């Protein structure tokens, strides 16, 4: 995990876990009801149509999925959105002028998933707009009912640029919440783990403040260091070092809920041996310096 590259398989597993969480289900429902727009939490390299079947899917987009040519154009747009939204939210327009947006969900340096919405127009549709879209479909040889398509096109949700920027801001804030939840899931959960790995997690949780080494944890669960290293990485998706760092960062975050706790005190209490190492690790995992995190919690009143 410390390489900054999450595998598509790991991303899919995390997305499945996040979607089961109450916070995601509540937000998803509230977002649809408040904005009237579709929403999707999408794993990396999941090249499908993100909003197909969504309760708020645009009628025009639903019709587009029936044609192979227009469907291919939508998939190409999804690929572009994902490629360009690695570090920051990105909005692109499809051939018909509808906007689609992706907001990255990151845990420190790692890209975990995308939050997506869209299928809207930023200006009221015109006959000229539709005529241009229809011509493109004819050029592709798409078999569509033009009258039905025109009716659906003019039903497309129109949102002002300012409104849409606010909607994307909401998604960005929620992406930060999902980032925190993702880190907790990385630390807390493992699918069908062996008793030895469960015991190792418990041992690390109890003694993370000590000078823990891979060898000492392996010994505690009666494994060779080499075998434990391989087994732990396979079970958690993380190296022992990265897992321990994430446990300690979560501890620091909990300690900093106390407004009187200094960052340096929290770092040493969580088990970090030097402030330079702590600052580097915290920034990588949390995506911001510890002082910035503390200021966001309590306002900019001293450190």
User: pLDDT tens, position by position, for the chain (303 residues)?
Assistant: 333 467 788 888 888 889 988 889 999 999 999 999 999 999 998 877 888 889 999 999 988 887 777 778 888 888 888 889 988 999 999 999 999 999 999 887 789 899 999 999 999 999 999 999 999 988 888 777 889 999 999 999 999 999 999 999 999 999 988 988 887 777 665 445 688 888 998 899 999 999 899 999 999 999 999 999 998 988 888 899 999 999 999 899 889 988 889 999 999 999 999 999 999 999 988 888 999 888 877 764 443
Contact between 101 and 117 under an 8 Å Cβ cutoff? The reply is: yes
- Please give the structure tokens belonging to residue 163: 């409104």
Q: How far is CA 238 from the centre of its chain?
A: 18
Q: Is residue 241 part of a domain?
A: yes
Identify the domain boundary among 185, 201, 235.
185
Tell if the pTM clears 0.75, that is, is over it.
Answer: no
Domain range for 67 is: 8-185
Same domain? For 264 and 158 the reply is no
Residues 178, 90: Cα–Cα separation, whole Å: 18
Same domain? For 139 and 232 the reply is no
Same domain? For 86 and 209 the reply is no
Q: Is residue 303 part of a domain?
A: no
Residues 287, 132: Cα–Cα separation, whole Å: 44
Helix or strand holding residue 110 (H, E) = strand 110-121
Identify the domain boundary among 159, 185, 211.
185
Same domain? For 280 and 203 the reply is yes
Residues 293, 299: Cα–Cα separation, whole Å: 10
Helix or strand holding residue 70 (H, E) = helix 68-84
Contacts for 119 with CB less than 8 Å, ≥ 6 apart: 37, 38, 51, 57, 58, 60, 61, 98, 99, 100, 156, 157
Report how many domains make up the chain.
Answer: 2
Instruction: Compute the C-alpha angle 29/32/33, nearest 5°.
Output: 85
């Amino acid at each position: 995990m410390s390489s900054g590259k999450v595998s598509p398989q790991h991303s899919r597993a995390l997305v499945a876990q996040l979607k089961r969480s109450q916070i995601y289900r509540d937000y998803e429902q509230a977002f649809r009801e408040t904005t009237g727009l579709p929403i999707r939490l999408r794993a990396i390299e999941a090249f499908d149509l993100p909003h197909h079947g969504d309760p708020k899917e645009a009628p025009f987009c639903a019709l587009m999925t029936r044609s192979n040519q227009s469907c291919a154009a939508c998939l190409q747009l999804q690929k572009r959105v994902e490629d360009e939204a690695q570090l920051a939210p990105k909005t692109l327009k499809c051939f018909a002028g509808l906007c689609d947006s992706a907001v990255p969900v990151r845990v420190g340096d790692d890209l975990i998933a995308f939050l997506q919405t869209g299928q809207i127009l930023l200006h009221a549709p015109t006959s000229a707009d539709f005529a241009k879209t229809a011509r493109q479909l004819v050029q592709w040889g798409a078999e569509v009912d033009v009258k039905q398509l025109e009716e659906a096109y003019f039903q497309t949700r129109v949102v002002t640029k300012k409104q849409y920027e606010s909607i994307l801001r909401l998604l960005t804030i929620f992406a930060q919440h999902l980032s925190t939840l993702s880190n907790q899931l990385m630390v807390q959960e493992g699918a069908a783990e062996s008793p030895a790995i469960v015991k190792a997690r418990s041992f690390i949780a109890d003694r993370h403040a000590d000078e823990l080494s891979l060898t000492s944890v392996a010994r505690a669960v009666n494994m060779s260091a080499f075998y434990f290293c391989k087994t732990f990485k396979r079970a958690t998706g993380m190296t022992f070092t990265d897992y321990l760092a994430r446990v300690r960062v979560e501890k620091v975050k909990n300690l900093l809920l106390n407004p009187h706790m200094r960052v340096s005190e929290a770092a040493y209490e969580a088990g970090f041996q030097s402030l330079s190492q702590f600052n580097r690790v915290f920034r990588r995992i949390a995506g911001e310096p510890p002082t910035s995190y503390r200021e966001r919690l309590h306002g900019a009143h001293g450190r």
